[in-house]
């Protein structure tokens, strides 16, 4: 049975079993992961997968079941389970499925060649990436992780309101992490990139060199003592501020009064240099999709414009509850998950400064290249931010000694309001992206002098 006919069969049987609204989310495809070490293939993992997730609304109550077994008997039992489960949920008038059919969109998010490019070729890419990293500097002794992964397949969303949309998508990812060593101490650096198309991945040499550079710059790093200073965020770590803001921007958290941004649409929550977007339609964006995981058309959403909070992100049901239009932000990890509010290509818009000019303009502060533990304690209700930090000290507008063993802390809202420079070096590497930016002051905590 084809995906479409299985879905049709499921929806018909769900309806005749007494379900008022139902949605079938189908996912099938292939995955591949490769790891190289010391020039050799270390591991290869492959699979073909297929599965279905079914949302059922019975008397306004919501249940969800999933299976990867498509035999008729199992599907029949799955339907029975979906109905008996719904009985245990509480009714809500907002348990509704999208009714509008999204307009068909052609997006270049599927690479028809990706699965036919040989494994040998992909392994070669990894070997080149590792070799470039190890060649970069004699202190770069070994790699920690050199990996390629890819997924390719079809997603289909079908519901009892007549919504029926399927599309092909692929994604490939290169990641490299290396260790530099000096005087018995090791430091690590990494770089990665995600793309929908194999040919659009950057050169492996570029990624390998960058990972090596980031490790080498930390060699000999030492803590500094506690002080309040400006902090410049390298793009690889600046995304953490957006990640910290993310949960508070979710419309479902706002509806539940769990967000510190609730009621603040229209308020200035950041400096006017800050514009933040979530664009599900970004051309060549690593997370671009024609529809979200409920079948709602994706959109280009301005969340913060020149510092002013404009909007939250919604899925269908949270949008209904808030009296807003759904923005196409329903996300699922896989067919095994219920959709929930999430992000696509989420980023801070580039500014007009040059990154090197921001450094030159900083008399005394920290240029952060690595953050750890920043995600601990993040929650939508309170905006505290505290993280281990490493990078380069900036003295009189120039890089001086490498720093590690310190923390930087503030609140997300204070940080956004204190962004006083944004560079033009925005690159979409996958996930959350941002350019270099500076926060005027943060509390840097270190050991006593």
Partner 1 sequence: MGLDEILGEQIPRRKFLKRTILGGAVLAGAPIFSSLLSNGEAQAQDEPLSGMFTREGLAQIIREALSKGGDFADVYVERIFVTTIAFSEGRVESVKYGLDQGAGVRVLKGDQTGYAYSQDLELSSIVKAARTAAVIASGPAREKIARLSVRTSMNCVPFALNFLDVKEKEKVAIVERANAAARAVDPRITQVKLTYEDTIDSYVLANSEGVFVSDELPLIWITVDAIAADNGKKRPGYVRVSGRSGFEFFNRNSPEDAGRKAAKQAVTMLDSSPAPMGEMPVVLASGGGVMFHEAVGHGLEADAVKRQTSMFAGKVGQVVGSDNVTVVDDATIPNLRGSFNFDGEGTPAQKNVLIDKGVLVGYMNDLITAKYLGVPPTGNGRRESYRNYPLVRMTNTYLAPGSLEPQEIIEATQKGIYAKDLGGGEVDTASGDFTFGVREAYLIENGKIGAPVLGATLIGSGPEIMKRVDMVGNDISYWPGTCGKGQWVPVTSGAPTLRISRITIGGRE
Q: How far is the CB of 253 from partner 1 (least distance, A)?
A: 9
As measured in angstroms, the least distance from the Cβ of 349 to partner 1 is 28
Residue whose tokens read 């209700």: 381
Contacts of 138 by beta carbon, 8 Å cutoff, 6+ apart: none
Scan residues 207-246 and list those touching partner 1 (CB under 8 A): 218, 223, 225-226
Q: Which of 409, 418, 420, 431 binds partner 1 (CB under 8 A)?
A: 409
Q: Which of residues 331-350 bind partner 1 (CB under 8 A)?
A: 336, 338
* Contacting partner 1 within 82-121 (CB under 8 A): 84-86, 88-90, 92
> 26 with 49: CB under 8 angstroms?
no
Binding residue for partner 1, selected from 1, 15, 363, 381, defined by CB under 8 A: 381
Q: Are 315 and 254 in contact (CB under 8 A)?
A: no
> DSSP characters for 92-135?
-TT-----SPPPP---S---TTTTTS-HHHHHHHHHHHHHHHHH
Least distance from partner 1 to the Cβ atom of residue 247, Å = 11
Q: Which is nearer to partner 1, 353 or 445 (CB)?
A: 445
221 versus 297: smaller Cβ distance to partner 1:
221
Nearer to partner 1, 113 or 263 (CB): 263
Beta bridge partners of 297: 291
The Cα diameter of the chain in Å comes to 74
Q: Among residues 4, 40, 324, 360, which is the contact residue for partner 1, using CB under 8 A?
A: 40
Give the C-alpha distances (Å, rounded to integers) separating 264 from 142, 251, 261, 430: 49, 12, 5, 29
Angle between helix axes 3-16 and 72-86 (nearest 10 degrees) is 40
Burial group, residue 331, by CB count within 10 angstroms (0-12, 13-18, 19+): buried
Specify whether the CB–CB gap between 75 and 68 falls below 8 A: no
Q: How far is the CB of 361 from partner 1 (least distance, A)?
A: 24
The Cβ-side half-sphere exposure at 81, using a 13 Å CA radius, reads 13
Residue with tokens 């995304």: 239
Considering only residues 17, 117, 201, 258, which one is a binding residue for partner 1 as defined by CB under 8 A? 258
Which of 404, 412, 417, 422 is the binder for partner 1 (CB under 8 A)? 404
Rounded least distance, CB 356 to partner 1, Å = 27
Distance CA 268, CA 271 (A): 8
Question: Of 96 and 141, which CB lies nearer to partner 1 in the complex structure?
Answer: 141
5-34 binders of partner 1 (CB under 8 A): none
For the residues of 276-342, what is the DSSP string, one character each?
EEEETT-TT-TT--SB-TTSPBP-EEEEEETTEE---B--HHHHHHHT----S-EE-SSTTS--EE-
By CB under 8 A, the residues from 351 to 380 that bind partner 1 are 372-374, 376-377, 379
Window of 109-117, 294-302, 422-430, 436-444 that interacts with partner 1 by CB under 8 A: 436-444
The site map against partner 1 for 55-74 (x = CB under 8 A) is ------xxxxxxxxx-x-xx
Binding mask 383-402 for partner 1 (x = CB under 8 A): -x-xxx-x------------
Per CB under 8 A, 144 contacts partner 1: yes
CA distance 264 to 266: 6
Residue 364 or 382: the one with the smaller Cβ distance to partner 1 is: 382
What residue spans of 66-106 are helical by DSSP H? 72-86
Give least dist CB 377 to partner 1, A.
4
- For residues 288-327, which are near partner 1 according to CB under 8 A? none
CB of 80 to partner 1, least distance (A): 7
Nearer to partner 1, 164 or 188 (CB): 188
Minimum CB–partner distance for residue 372 and partner 1 (Å): 5
Helices (H) and strands (E) in the chain, counts: 9, 19
Which residues within the stretch 413-432 sit at the binding site for partner 1 (CB under 8 A)?
Answer: none
The answer to whether the beta carbons of residues 301 and 277 sit under 8 Å apart is yes
**Length of the chain counted residue by residue:** 449
């Amino acid at each position: 049975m084809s995906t479409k006919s299985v879905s049709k069969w499921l929806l018909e049987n769900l309806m005749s079993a007494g379900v008022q609204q139902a949605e079938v989310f189908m996912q099938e495809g292939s995955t591949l992961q490769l790891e190289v070490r010391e020039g050799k293939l270390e591991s290869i993992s492959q699979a073909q997968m297929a599965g279905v997730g079914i949302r059922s609304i019975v008397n306004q109550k919501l249940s969800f079941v999933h299976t990867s077994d498509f035999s008729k008997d199992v599907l029949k039992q799955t339907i029975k389970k979906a109905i008996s489960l719904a009985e245990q949920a509480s009714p809500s008038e907002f348990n509704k499925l999208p009714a509008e059919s999204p307009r068909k969109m052609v997006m270049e998010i599927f690479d028809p060649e990706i699965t036919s490019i040989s494994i040998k070729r992909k392994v070669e890419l990894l070997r080149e990436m590792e070799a470039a990293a190890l060649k970069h500097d004699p202190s770069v002794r070994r790699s920690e992780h050199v990996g390629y992964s890819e997924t390719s397949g079809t997603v289909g969303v079908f519901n009892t309101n007549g919504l029926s949309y399927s599309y092909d998508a692929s994604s490939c990812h290169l990641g490299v992490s290396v260790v530099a060593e000096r005087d018995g101490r090791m430091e690590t650096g990494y770089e990665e990139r995600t793309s929908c198309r194999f040919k659009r991945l950057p050169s492996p040499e570029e990624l390998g060199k960058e990972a090596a550079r980031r490790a080498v710059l930390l060699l000999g790093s030492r803590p500094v003592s506690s002080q309040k200073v400006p902090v410049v965020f390298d793009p690889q770590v600046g995304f953490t501020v957006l990640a910290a803001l993310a949960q508070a921007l979710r419309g479902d958290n706002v509806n539940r009064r769990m967000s510190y941004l609730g009621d603040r649409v229209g308020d200035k929550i950041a400096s006017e240099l800050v514009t933040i977007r979530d664009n599900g339609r970004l051309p060549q964006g690593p997370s671009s999709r024609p529809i979200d995981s409920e079948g709602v058309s994706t959109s280009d959403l301005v969340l913060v414009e020149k510092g002013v909070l404009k909007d939250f992100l919604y899925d269908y049901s949270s949008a209904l509850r808030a009296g807003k239009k759904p923005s196409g932000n329903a996300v699922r990890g896989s067919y095994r998950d219920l959709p929930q509010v999430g992000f696509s290509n989420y980023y801070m818009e580039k500014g007009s400064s040059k990154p090197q000019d921001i450094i030159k303009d900083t008399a005394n502060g920290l240029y952060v290249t690595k953050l750890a533990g920043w995600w601990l304690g993040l929650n939508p209700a309170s905006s505290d931010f505290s993280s281990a930090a490493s990078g380069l000290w900036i003295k009189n507008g120039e890089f001086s000694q490498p720093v590690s063993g310190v923390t930087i802390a503030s609140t997300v809202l204070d940080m956004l309001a204190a962004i006083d420079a944004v560079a033009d070096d925005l690159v979409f590497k996958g996930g959350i992206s941002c350019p270099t930016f500076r926060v005027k002051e943060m509390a840097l905590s270190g050991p006593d002098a």
